[in-house]
Chains A and B, each alone.
Chain A
Amino acid sequence: MKKIKAVHSLIPILVFLLIWEVVTRLELIPGHFFFPPFTVVIQEFYRLIANGVLIDNFLSSFFRVLIGLSAGSIAGITVGILLGYEQNLHKITHPILSLFYPIPALGWLPILMLWFGISEMLPIMIIFICSFFPVLYNTVTGIKGVNKDFIKAAQSLGASEWKVLTTVVIPLALPNIFTGLRLEAGMAWRVIIAAEMVAIPTGIGALLMKAESLMRVDIIIVCLMVLAVMCLSFERFFIYLEHKLTHKWRQYAQH
């Protein structure tokens, strides 16, 4: 059944690629120089892999996202749990966090360039900020949203504050925490590409900019395809993890 479902979702993609190929081969679009056929893009994809350009740039972006997203998520979850559970701390910090939260991650780029210069720290910090605030926000919402009756029940069964937190509050807040992680997993890739296009000479974003200056639309499309696959893969990874951890008890398991 799952296989049939997967084939069904592949059909629209295959149709799209076919139309792309036919339209560009028949030169139905004016200015077709800027819109190469799919097969040409695939040939360029193999060439970029073979000469190592794509892999080098991909790995640069990948490790930046991985480090920044992991650090930002861990920090966001930890601080979120603390603020969600300690009402007084949340009251004190809420006005400050409310001011920082709406700032788009790329808005931090100029100041981070001044602080860190053009170094590996710059993209990692951008991704950190990009992940930290939304994960924090969702974690706080999740922790605060846990029905107080569950806490009372756990306490009456002999659970200390720490046990209540680790065995009841955090597990019940997991769906909210995963919402934050899922959203930011894709967003981190979008932000890293933008940051690399503007300020960093390596990575998929930088490759995109170089391709633009050489008017290599095929390379641009290869980079965009890599970006799309990575955004989707990261989001899917968190959906899978959430499903594994919570689907047994959630009424409407998401997948």
Chain B
Amino acid sequence: MPNIRLKNINNFICHDINLEISDREFLVLWGPTGAGKTTLLNTIAGLIEYKGSVSFDGSPVDEFPVYQRKAGYLFQNLILFPHLNVRANIAYGLRVQGEPKSMVESRVNELLRLMRIEHLVYRYPRDLSGGEKQRVALARAIAPSPEIMLFDEPLNSLDFHTARYLRTEIHKLHKELGFTTIYVTHCFEEAFALADRVAVLKNGRIVRTGFPEDIFKEIDCKAIAENGFCDCHQGSRNSPAQIKLENSNILCHSRRG
């Protein structure tokens, strides 16, 4: 799996971003709304213009169009193709890359099983629930076996339990498939639960990077509460953070996986 290197990335939001993500690492980009997290993901995917250099596995990909970068991307609003059913949505990436039909079939069947959505195969996106859409979008993103996965707040619109379940699934998939991952969120609990390393983004700049327990130990709890949904009590990985969700009075213990 490739590592990712960002060197002096600048565009309309990002300023002088330098970051290196190791092979198979799960990096969480954490920061408030408007910090430039999605813009940075779009930059890595090649979806927007930028100055500076993006390298995958040591080779610059700046001149590569989006479709040649082959970074899997799970968008915040999922963007399932409305004119394709679940099977065709998942198969899309493989079909456009000209994979043989038999290979496409077996890969799609494998993903349907893995994501436990075999029963949805002929449904269209308009007939899926939020959680089902999320699983289909995830299956579609990983179908072409990308070596890099970009997640843009994928659990934002889901209810607490579905989000928690899918978070565990994403973590498991990352461990099994080993793709190098950049995961955007503004939720402290998600960042703490998933990250190997956290990069904190503020006003288009990376202000801090480090292990989650170090990052969240240093950051003022008040700031976390302001930035995310959470009213939290400081904790560490061994003594997990306690998070009181703002509107539900649920006290939960953040834990990995």
Question: Which A residues are CB-close (under 8 A) to B93?
Answer: 157-159
Partner of B96, one of A167, A171, A248, A251: A167
A154 touches B96 (CB 8 A): yes
- Most A CB within 10 A of own CB, among B77, B79, B124, B126: B79
Known: A149-B75, A152-B47, A154-B96. A159 touches B81 (CB 8 A): no
A150 touches B81 (CB 8 A): yes
B45 touches A156 (CB 8 A): yes
* Closest CB in chain A relative to B125 CB, distance in Å: 8
Residue A115 interfacial (CB < 8 Å): no
Partner of A149, one of B72, B79, B96: B79
Question: Which B residues are CB-close (under 8 A) to A43?
Answer: none
- A-B contacts, CB under 8 A, total: 66
* Closest CB in chain A relative to B126 CB, distance in Å: 6
The 0/1 profile, CB within 8 Å of B marked 1, for residues 215-229 of chain A is: 000000000000000
Determine the distance from Cα of A147 to Cα of B71 in the docked complex, in whole angstroms: 21
Residue A153 interfacial (CB < 8 Å): yes
* Closest CB in chain A relative to B84 CB, distance in Å: 8
A248 touches B124 (CB 8 A): yes
A159 touches B82 (CB 8 A): no
B77 touches A149 (CB 8 A): yes
Residue B67 interfacial (CB < 8 Å): yes
Residue B204 interfacial (CB < 8 Å): no
Write the chain B residue with the least CB distance to A159. B96
* Closest CB in chain A relative to B137 CB, distance in Å: 9
Question: Which B residues are CB-close (under 8 A) to A249?
Answer: 82-85, 124-126
Question: Which B residues are CB-close (under 8 A) to A171?
Answer: 83
The 0/1 profile, CB within 8 Å of B marked 1, for residues 138-176 of chain A is: 000000000101101111111110010001100110000
Determine the distance from Cα of A171 to Cα of B92 in the docked complex, in whole angstroms: 14
Determine the distance from Cα of A149 to Cα of B70 in the docked complex, in whole angstroms: 17
**In the complex, which residues 72-128 of chain B have their Cβ closer than 8 Å to any Cβ of chain A?**
72-73, 75, 77, 79, 81-85, 92-93, 95-97, 124-126
Partner of A153, one of B75, B95, B124, B144: B75
**In the complex, which residues 23-53 of chain B have their Cβ closer than 8 Å to any Cβ of chain A?**
45, 47
B72 touches A156 (CB 8 A): yes
Question: Which A residues are CB-close (under 8 A) to B73?
Answer: 153, 156
- Most A CB within 10 A of own CB, among B45, B47, B140: B47
Partner of A156, one of B47, B84, B97: B47
The 0/1 profile, CB within 8 Å of A marked 1, for residues 122-166 of chain B is: 001110000000000000110010000000000000000000000
Residue B215 interfacial (CB < 8 Å): no
| Secondary structure dominating the interface of A | helix
Determine the distance from Cα of A171 to Cα of B81 in the docked complex, in whole angstroms: 10
Determine the distance from Cα of A167 to Cα of B125 in the docked complex, in whole angstroms: 16
The 0/1 profile, CB within 8 Å of B marked 1, for residues 172-207 of chain A is: 100000000000000000000000000000000000
Determine the distance from Cα of A154 to Cα of B81 in the docked complex, in whole angstroms: 9
- Most B CB within 10 A of own CB, among A152, A155, A156, A251: A156
* Closest CB in chain A relative to B242 CB, distance in Å: 37
* Closest CB in chain B relative to A120 CB, distance in Å: 40
* Closest CB in chain A relative to B150 CB, distance in Å: 8
Determine the distance from Cα of A155 to Cα of B93 in the docked complex, in whole angstroms: 9
Residue B65 interfacial (CB < 8 Å): yes
Question: Which B residues are CB-close (under 8 A) to A251?
Answer: 126
B67 touches A160 (CB 8 A): yes
Partner of A152, one of B79, B125, B141: B79
A158 touches B70 (CB 8 A): yes
Known: A155-B66, A159-B96, A160-B67. A150 touches B140 (CB 8 A): no
Residue A78 interfacial (CB < 8 Å): no
The 0/1 profile, CB within 8 Å of B marked 1, for residues 244-255 of chain A is: 001011010000
Determine the distance from Cα of A68 to Cα of B188 in the docked complex, in whole angstroms: 64
Question: Which B residues are CB-close (under 8 A) to A246?
Answer: 83
Known: A152-B66, A155-B67. A160 touches B79 (CB 8 A): no
Write the chain A residue with the least CB distance to B150. A156
Ranked nearest first, the 8 interchain pairs of A and B with the lowest CB-CB distance are A157-B93, A155-B66, A153-B79, A156-B73, A159-B96, A163-B96, A249-B83, A158-B97
> What are 5 of the A-B contact pairs (CB < 8 Å)?
A152-B75, A153-B81, A154-B81, A156-B71, A156-B72
Given A172-B83, A249-B85, 5 additional A-B pairs, CB 8 A: A150-B81, A156-B73, A160-B96, A172-B82, A251-B126
Binding site for A on B (CB under 8 A): 45, 47, 65-67, 70-73, 75, 77, 79, 81-85, 92-93, 95-97, 124-126, 140-141, 144
